[in-house]
Amino acid sequence: MLRVSVEEKVVQPFVMREVHVRKVWEVLTRTMGVVRVRAECLDGLSRSVDSLVELLSYDNRRGRAIVSLSFRAHSPERNAHCTITYARNLQRPIEISCEGEEESISTLRRELRDINEAMRPWYASVAQLDIAALTIGGGILLVIALVSARALGWVPVPPKTAISEAEKSIQSAKIFGLILLGLVGLGILNSTRDRVFPAGEFTLGEGEERYEVNEKIRWAVVIGFLVSLAASVVVLAV
């Protein structure tokens, strides 16, 4: 039988519930055999279990909440192995590394793809939003637009006037302050995105309650944005 190997990253936000944990465990047990899970937790400790019951009974309290789950399975008889890691990491939320017979690896990948897709949250596009890149790109486009408008004579160019060194220093300080304020704002926006729209959530144990609270916050943010957008449209129309 032809042997194959695969290494891939799935850049997709996820919400892992008990049903998904059961499905990943089941498909690994069926296609590989022995399964063991390692959980990296917020308190800096790594916890390992080799029983699905143990994993599902973990309390997942806030102080030691799950940060990542690594499912490791192997089949000594078929000399096959597979590791699947789910992490609260925007750059690499899901990582898969497998080696074994082509048929079993192909089946495993296909079923994992379906499970991962089922874990995709409704806010996935927001969680993947690169606020810094959008802001910088928007700023560059704005500068290009202003320069082009002046070159075409659409925007009047104010006459040059002599300014003192003190005024130059004040203007430089203002520009520096605006840049610093913009960087702080970007940091706050990214932090808010990671907190409200995380790349990964584990709802095992007390994680379910935290997820429900975050879900209410997410809808409040979305509804608030839509209301403000509608109000802006009305104001512009009037």
Per the model's pLDDT, the better-predicted residue between 124 and 25 turns out to be 25
Domain ranges of the chain: 3-124, 129-197
Report DSSP state, residue 201: E
What is the token pair recorded at 19?
Answer: 């049903």
- The pLDDT value given to residue 237: 58
End-to-end, the C-alpha distance of the chain in Å comes to 72
Does the pLDDT of residue 235 top 80, yes or no? no
The whole-angstrom separation of Cα 47 and Cα 37 is 8
Does the pLDDT of residue 236 top 60, yes or no? no
Q: Where are the beta strands (DSSP E) in 43-199?
A: 46-49, 66-75, 80-87, 94-101
* Chain centroid, CA 169 distance in Å: 41
Going by their DSSP bridges, the two strands 14-16 and 200-202 should be labelled as parallel
Whose tokens are 């637009």? That residue is 145
Does the pLDDT of residue 231 top 60, yes or no? yes
| Mean pLDDT score, 183-200 | 76
Residue-wise pLDDT tens digits, 131-161 = 666 666 666 777 777 777 767 666 666 666 6
Does the pLDDT of residue 34 top 60, yes or no? yes
The whole-angstrom separation of Cα 130 and Cα 132 is 6
The whole-angstrom separation of Cα 47 and Cα 66 is 10
CA dihedral 58, 52, 47, 65 (to 10 degrees): -40
- The pLDDT value given to residue 57: 94
What is the token pair recorded at 87?
Answer: 């992490």
- The pLDDT value given to residue 79: 86
The whole-angstrom separation of Cα 119 and Cα 139 is 35
Name the band, by pLDDT with cuts 50, 70 and 90, for residue 125: confident
Residue-wise pLDDT tens digits, 47-91 = 999 999 999 999 999 999 999 999 999 988 888 999 999 998 877
Neighbours of 121 (CB within 10 A): 20
Q: Domain 3-124 - what CATH class?
A: alpha beta
The whole-angstrom separation of Cα 139 and Cα 144 is 9
What percentage of the chain has pLDDT greater than the value 70? 80
186 by Cβ neighbours in 10 Å (0-12 / 13-18 / 19+) ranks as: middle
Helix (H) or strand (E) holding 6: strand 3-10
Contact yes or no for 84/70 (Cβ under 8 A): yes
**Residue 27: which residues within 8 A CB-CB, separation 6 or more?**
108, 111, 112, 115
Comparing 92-96, 118-122, 181-185, 209-213, which segment has the lowest mean pLDDT? 181-185
Per the model's pLDDT, the better-predicted residue between 196 and 153 turns out to be 196
The whole-angstrom separation of Cα 98 and Cα 7 is 7
What is the token pair recorded at 163?
Answer: 């300014």
